[in-house]
């Protein structure tokens, strides 16, 4: 039986800012700074980091050093170092590099899939089968242990196509697993999700594939990122993608304000009593560093303004009967 509602209260945050975030900004962060980011996130308690994307350097020069950052990340104790791979060719690079995990993006919206990947969803499923065969042929090399994750995007709607039927999303999750993916995830690529829809789809998906559905990936396009994460958490999801400083977003989502901010999501989960293992103040410190690496680039999120909650011990401020707070 699939375990739809695991009793554990641990949550895993996967930092995807080095991939989903940096692919969306024009600034190229140097390899040394990316490695500092990985180190600091790891030191803050993050235990999975998507360090880049195995695409040709000419297409995404920001991520051209993915192999180097991956090699660095692979040396950190207890860290799962993952990369995005758009196809078999990228997967072969990930296998050769010994990535711990590789995420194969699939778009449940056919229109978005063709626009973004030049393939139909089922062609991506077929590619996952080829990727699985490649891994199985890896013998005793490090790549033989690389986890294959099918990441189903536009799972909650699509700017190009509009509605994306739940049945199609569920079919594709199953198809990915049948084709050899070890685990799957659901992404609100273009910010169409709302908590009710998230609750409904994750509930069905978890009943269908159990804890092989590992990660929820939310954008904060219309401010509902944390609400959607909470709805997914309530449905039983225990893994979340997030970007430090809320950077990232999709070029097909106009006006997108980025991904859920890692620091905001970690704080919400911790306040809720979940154990993320993440030190939120350290993430806030790293966010300040990120702003220096991305000068002029707008960062997002809310926690950085007010900071974590500190109860004052000094005397109460002067009484103010005027502005009766409520």
Q: Give residues 75-134 in contact with its own copies (rule: CB under 8 A).
A: 84, 86, 103, 105, 107, 111-112, 114-118
Contact 67, 143 (CB under 8 A): no
Looking at residues 8 to 37 of the shown chain, list those that interact with its own copies (rule: CB under 8 A). Answer: 16, 20, 23-24
Task: Out of 14, 72, 183, 252, point to the residue binding its own copies (CB under 8 A).
Answer: 252
d(CA 176, CA 158): 20
C-beta closer to its own copies: residue 37 or 188: 188
Residues in contact with its own copies, shown as a per-residue x/- string from 256 to 285 under the rule CB under 8 A: xx---x--x--xx--xxx------------
Which parts of the chain fold into alpha helices (H)?
31-43, 66-73, 88-97, 110-117, 121-136, 166-178, 195-209, 225-235, 262-271, 280-293, 303-306
Closer to its own copies by CB, 292 or 312: give it: 312
Q: Which of 35, 158, 243, 250 is catalytic?
A: 250
CA-CA distance, 208 to 59, in Å (whole number)?
A: 36
Residue 153 within binding range of its own copies, rule CB under 8 A: yes
Binding mask 155-174 for its own copies (x = CB under 8 A): --xxxxxx------------
Other Cβ atoms closer than 10 A to 144: 13
CB 51 within 8 A of CB 66: yes
Half-sphere CA count of 186, side-chain side, radius 13 A: 36
Residue 43 or 165: which CB sits closer to its own copies? 165
Nearest approach, Cβ of 129 to its own copies (angstroms)?
19
Please report how close the Cβ of residue 83 comes to its own copies at its closest, in angstroms.
11
218: enclosing H helix or E strand: strand 213-218
Site for its own copies in 278-317 (CB under 8 A): 301-303, 305-307, 309, 311-312, 316-317
12 vs 53 by CB, closer to its own copies: 53
Residue 182 backbone dihedrals phi, psi, to 5 degrees = -85, -30
Pick the closer one to its own copies by CB: 4 or 229. 229
Q: From residue 94, give the alpha-carbon distance in Å to each of 141, 146, 195, 301.
A: 12, 8, 34, 31
Would you call 250 a catalytic residue per the annotation?
yes
Binder among 14, 34, 217, 238 for its own copies (CB under 8 A): 217
- Under the criterion CB under 8 A, does residue 140 sit at the interface with its own copies? no
**Phi and psi of 3, rounded to 5°?**
-95, 95
> Does 195 engage in binding with its own copies (CB under 8 A)?
yes
221 binds its own copies (CB under 8 A): yes
Exactly one of 59, 89, 136, 144 binds its own copies (CB under 8 A); that residue is 59
Decide: 206 and 5 in contact? Cβ < 8 Å. Answer: yes
By annotation, the residues acting in catalysis are 250
């Amino acid at each position: 039986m699939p375990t739809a509602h695991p009793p554990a209260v641990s949550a895993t945050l996967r930092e995807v800012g080095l991939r989903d975030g940096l692919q969306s900004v024009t600034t190229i962060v140097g390899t040394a700074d990316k490695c500092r980011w990985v180190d600091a996130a790891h030191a803050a308690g993050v235990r999975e980091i998507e360090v880049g994307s195995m695409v040709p350097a000419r297409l995404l020069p920001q991520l051209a050093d993915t192999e180097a950052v991956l090699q660095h990340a692979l040396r950190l104790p207890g860290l799962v170092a993952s990369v995005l791979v758009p196809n078999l060719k990228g997967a072969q690079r990930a296998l050769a590099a010994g990535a711990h995990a590789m995420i194969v993006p699939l778009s449940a919206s056919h229109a978005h899939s063709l626009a973004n990947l030049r393939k139909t969803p089922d062609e991506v499923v077929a590619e996952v089968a080829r990727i699985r065969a490649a891994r199985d042929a890896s013998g005793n090399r490090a790549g033989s242990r690389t986890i294959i994750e099918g990441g189903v995007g536009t799972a909650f709607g699509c700017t190009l196509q509009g509605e994306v039927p739940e049945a199609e999303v569920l079919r594709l999750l199953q198809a990915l697993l049948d084709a050899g993916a070890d685990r799957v995830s659901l992404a609100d690529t273009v910010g169409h999700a709302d908590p009710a829809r998230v609750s409904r789809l994750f509930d069905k998906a978890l009943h269908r594939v159990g804890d092989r559905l590992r990660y929820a990936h939310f954008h904060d396009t219309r401010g509902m990122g944390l609400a959607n994460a909470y709805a997914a958490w309530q449905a039983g999801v225990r893994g979340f993608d997030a970007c430090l400083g809320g950077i990232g977003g999709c070029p097909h989502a106009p006006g997108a304000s980025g991904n859920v901010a890692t620091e905001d999501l970690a704080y919400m989960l911790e306040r809720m009593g979940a154990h993320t293992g993440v030190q939120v103040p350290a993430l806030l410190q790293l966010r300040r560093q990120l702003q220096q690496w991305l000068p002029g680039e707008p960062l997002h999120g809310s926690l950085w303004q007010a900071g974590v909650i500190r109860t004052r011990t000094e005397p109460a401020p002067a009484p103010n009967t005027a502005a009766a707070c409520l």
